[in-house]
Structure 1
Amino acid sequence: MSIDNPNTEFTVVINDQEQYSIWPTYHAVPAGWKEVGVVGNKEQCLAHIKATWTDMRPKSLRDALAS
């Protein structure tokens, strides 16, 4: 399978700065990222990220500005 294959299954991942990405399920999730529990095709995963990740600033910046 390849990332360009429409049948590729992805998982939504998040890092410690609360930044999102998608990762193909046939590869291990890289260090520093964890799965959020959403799995589907590319469009489904990107739609979840679009609905969830409304503040694109890294967590460290959001925290600094909130102080």
Structure 2
Amino acid sequence: MSNPFDDDSQEFLALCNDEEQYSLWPTGITVPAGWQVVYGPAPRREVVDHIDRSWTDMRPKSLRDAVPEYGAAGGRADSAPSTGSRA
């Protein structure tokens, strides 16, 4: 049996949960509890592209909300980049 998540011939959905995490999901499989369809059905590549554009910060929403002063790159949003040398 082949993996339905790798089947480029079928359509997929983009799912999102309360933590704003995304999942690629085959249309023939029941959407699990706690997840909502936010895109699709569409070809696999189109759904993957949508997820790539939408899910720009991999941290769960609860972590982003708890530590808002940190940017997506993990550094403080209010700090200047280091030059690696001292004056």
Query: Would you say same fold, with TM above 0.5?
Result: yes
Write out the 4+ residue segments of structure 1 that deviate beyond 2 Å after TM superposition: none
Q: Distance in 2 between matches of 1:9 and 1:17?
A: 25
Structure with the largest fraction of helix: 1
TM-score by length of 1: 0.86
Counterpart amino acid of 2:14?
A: V
Pick the structure with greater CA Rg: 2
Alignment: residue pair count = 67
Q: Distance in 2 between matches of 1:63 and 1:25?
A: 32
After superposition, the CA RMSD in angstroms is 1.9
Q: Which runs of 5+ in 1 are unaligned?
A: none
**8 Å Cα contact 1:8/1:41 also seen in 2:** yes
Q: Which runs of 5+ in 2 are unaligned?
A: 70-87
TM-score by length of 2: 0.68
Structure 1 residue 18 corresponds to structure 2 residue 20: yes
